Amino acid sequence: MKAPSTKRSKGRYWLFHRDHGHATQDCFDLKEEVEGLIRRGYLKEYVEDPKVTQNGENDKSPAREIQTIMGGPIESESGRKIKVDVREARTNLGHNEVYYTYIADRSATIEFSKDEATHLLHPHNDALVITLKIANVKVHRILVDGGNSADIISWTAYKVMDVGEKVLKSNPTPLVILEGRIESPVTFGSGPKSVTKMVEFLVVDYKSSYNAILGRLTMHMLKAIPSTYHQSMKFPTPGGVGEIKGEQRVSRECYYTSMKGNDRTSTKGGR
Is the per-residue pLDDT at 247 higher than 90? Answer: yes
In single-letter form, the type of residue at position 62 comes to P
Per-residue confidence band for 260, with pLDDT thresholds at 50, 70 and 90: confident
Q: Which domains does the chain have, with CATH numbers?
A: 12-45 (no CATH), 114-260 (2.40.70.10)
Is the per-residue pLDDT at 235 higher than 60? Answer: yes
- State the Cα–Cα distance between residues 267 and 162, nearest whole angstrom: 12
According to the model, what pLDDT value does residue 34 have?
Answer: 63
Poorest-pLDDT segment among 6-20, 162-176, 257-271: 6-20
Q: Which helix (H) or strand (E) holds 181?
A: strand 178-188
* Bridge partners (DSSP) listed for residue 169: 181
Is the per-residue pLDDT at 51 higher than 70? Answer: no
pLDDT tens per residue, range 109-141? 899 999 999 999 999 999 999 999 998 899 999
Q: Which of 209, 210, 208, 251 is nearest to 228 (CA)?
A: 251
According to the model, what pLDDT value does residue 179 have?
Answer: 73
According to the model, what pLDDT value does residue 3 have?
Answer: 57
152: Cα within 13 Å, side-chain hemisphere: 28
Is the per-residue pLDDT at 100 higher than 90? Answer: no
Phi, psi of 10 (to 5 degrees): -80, -10
Name every residue whose Cβ is closer than 8 Å to that of residue 158 and which is 6 or more positions away in sequence.
179, 182, 201, 203
Is the per-residue pLDDT at 67 higher than 50? Answer: no
CB atoms within 10 A of CB 258: 15
